Structure 1
């Protein structure tokens, strides 16, 4: 074990990914109490501003409104509430531990992100380093991907894309207020133009966005460039780049076996064979379930589906399911009516069987559709899959 590893093991300093910060967990409600509103005629300020510790700056996520803090001198970023004295003391104590290690970081354009716990004593601290030059995140020691919960790596290009995705996730959560990424924004506009033409001119486009989405994103990004500051621009870049990078990871972008068409299997994820129970139900239902399964598999290639294709299919299937339920209802009414109009035992048995079959088929079709629709919920706003 190296000196750095031994030092970090002795202290409760843990590596973390920006996407695993639990920022979307439920939060405890803050305390509130009656307050006196100061008159603007008698005072220059009607409200009391929260004073920040020396050297610290406060910013807010422009979309979610969550505050975060930066100390330019110490190169610290944190979402921990440093306006509370005990939290600030804990952040500073952890910085004293991590600063000598971070000083070994050969790249100078970086910030250290610290998230401290509320345990007794010093508690624990999760951290990662933001490398603005490489637009990646890093840590102070070599780590296996399994420790961080990352997937197995295919190549150095795959790893670079994963680290780049985490960088842009960080920029979405805590947009760097001191970095001017306008050149990246111009490059992103060009990328959106390419994706727009690709999805417009190709039925097998691997673009994560529809042509209309590309145009809307381009206009919104231009609006942010013309009217926003660094925080607004960098938030937009973080959100869009993370979606595009996720798509590139799934489609093996930059690798010799990259997915050139969304119907191409590159990860070896074939659709599972039909079970005997499914085949039996399919036979009883005139092969209709197998037909629908084939339609689902056609847009769920390599365990990857596109939102635009999924929405189109679910819309069509919803209409067809409605017609099927109406037909089942008509069959049930006809069976009930037939039972009341005839005294023949054989006809009554056939009518009862038909009614049971209609009810069972309707429930099975609805449950099958619900299950497969739930699988589509795994899709991200752009593209999703299991890699």
Structure 2
């Protein structure tokens, strides 16, 4: 599609009547399905290709009129929506009147019509909702080649992701959990992933300061305990604390929001993995909370262990201790792997020397 035809199509896009959208009945044009922030395909679009032009005519007024007219395609955005550019470079759109965000290509008339139809369905469901968080947000996504639109809701007050209908956690590809209170931390992880993908509003100062406190404690825990469960090393904690423990006025930007949200994503996942706030919380990385699978050593392995004075068996035990409940701690795995490689290199060198 050439730029001229794209402008014509976008400019003919019907604008959303912000005040009356919720008064419509659900549209049969699209099917709205629940999704999660972790199922966002922003990092999966590996096959998208573009055509590089060998020559482009640059108007004389490039630095003023041409740039203001919409190099960033702002003139193509439907009424009521604002285009934002993510710190990583991707584009997304926000409608603050409707509390909606999307990373769909709403400058495409087909996609926008589907987004509009999906929002009608969502707002119809909102009318029947018993109670909604005061500060909530809707994520909606559509593509030009499918009549299925996806959505989820964001609760900014409690920092969780939610939906307008009940769902089994397995339907949404949520991880297995012990209870709803345990699953809450997975939903908090999803919340912060959403904030990471759409960093147009700053993180409240209290949450930034809480994150600083978490990192400071994690740093101290790593320094004083070999069995710490914290996800970051002492050096990483120090660098991140230095990055985010600054004046509030310097944090009100998408770049800082993106980084703070990414760190909160790590912390939320850590809390989920280690049963934070429960009687059975894992407070040492050597503690198991899941049933340990039984080992089924082959006869050959048992023979080899006997020949090598149980050395292979000891290595297996060491590996199992590094992989507690399917969790690998990178700050402990990397030194172990480096040590094994060093031992193998020394053994290989000695073996070659003996053969020669």
* TM-score, reference length from structure 2: 0.83
Relative to structure 1, is the Cα distance of residues 316 and 263 closer, same or farther in structure 2, using a 3 angstrom cutoff?
A: same
Relative to structure 1, is the Cα distance of residues 126 and 35 closer, same or farther in structure 2, using a 3 angstrom cutoff?
A: same
Relative to structure 1, is the Cα distance of residues 210 and 138 closer, same or farther in structure 2, using a 3 angstrom cutoff?
A: same
Relative to structure 1, is the Cα distance of residues 303 and 99 closer, same or farther in structure 2, using a 3 angstrom cutoff?
A: same
Query: Given the alignment of the two structures, is residue 14 of structure 1 paired with residue 33 of structure 2, yes or no?
Result: yes
Confirm or deny: 8 A CA contact 1:270 1:301 kept in the other structure: no
Q: Please show how residues 1-387 of structure 1 align to structure 2 within 5 Å.
A: 11-25=30-44, 26-33=46-53, 34-40=55-61, 44-46=65-67, 48-49=69-70, 50=73, 51=75, 52-62=77-87, 64-105=88-129, 106-119=132-145, 123-175=147-199, 177-222=200-245, 225=248, 227-270=250-293, 272-333=295-356
User: What is the Cα deviation at residue 288 of structure 1?
Assistant: 3.1
Q: Secondary structure at the match of 2:115?
A: helix
Confirm or deny: 8 A CA contact 1:180 1:230 kept in the other structure: no
Confirm or deny: 8 A CA contact 2:32 2:148 kept in the other structure: yes
Separation of aligned partners in 2, 1:213 and 1:46: 40
User: What is the Cα deviation at residue 107 of structure 1?
Assistant: 2.1
Gaps of 5+ in 1: 1-6, 334-387
Confirm or deny: 8 A CA contact 1:224 1:233 kept in the other structure: no
Separation of aligned partners in 1, 2:47 and 2:68: 25
Cα displacement string for residues 70-96 of structure 1 (whole angstroms, at most 9, x for unaligned residues): 111122110011122222222112212
User: What is the Cα deviation at residue 270 of structure 1?
Assistant: 4.8
User: What is the Cα deviation at residue 32 of structure 1?
Assistant: 4.5
- Higher relative CO (Cα under 8 Å, sequence separation at least 6) belongs to 2
- Greater CA drift, 201-210 or 83-92: 83-92
User: What is the Cα deviation at residue 307 of structure 1?
Assistant: 0.7
Relative to structure 1, is the Cα distance of residues 151 and 290 closer, same or farther in structure 2, using a 3 angstrom cutoff?
A: same
Cα displacement string for residues 88-134 of structure 1 (whole angstroms, at most 9, x for unaligned residues): 222112212221112444223111111102226xx110110111111
Confirm or deny: 8 A CA contact 2:85 2:91 kept in the other structure: yes
Relative to structure 1, is the Cα distance of residues 323 and 9 closer, same or farther in structure 2, using a 3 angstrom cutoff?
A: farther
Structure showing greater Rg = 1
Separation of aligned partners in 1, 2:271 and 2:83: 34
Separation of aligned partners in 2, 1:31 and 1:95: 33
User: What is the Cα deviation at residue 298 of structure 1?
Assistant: 2.5
Separation of aligned partners in 2, 1:328 and 1:224: 59
Relative to structure 1, is the Cα distance of residues 42 and 115 closer, same or farther in structure 2, using a 3 angstrom cutoff?
A: closer
User: What is the Cα deviation at residue 11 of structure 1?
Assistant: 5.0
User: What is the Cα deviation at residue 31 of structure 1?
Assistant: 4.1
- Greater CA drift, 202-211 or 231-240: 231-240
User: What is the Cα deviation at residue 278 of structure 1?
Assistant: 2.0
- Greater CA drift, 259-268 or 105-114: 105-114
Q: How many residues align?
A: 323
| Runs of 4+ off more than 4 Å | 7-11, 223-226
Cα displacement string for residues 191-237 of structure 1 (whole angstroms, at most 9, x for unaligned residues): 11111111111121111111111111111113585534242232122
Gaps of 5+ in 2: 1-25
* TM-score, reference length from structure 1: 0.77
Q: RMSD of the TM alignment (CA)?
A: 2.4
Separation of aligned partners in 2, 1:20 and 1:315: 34
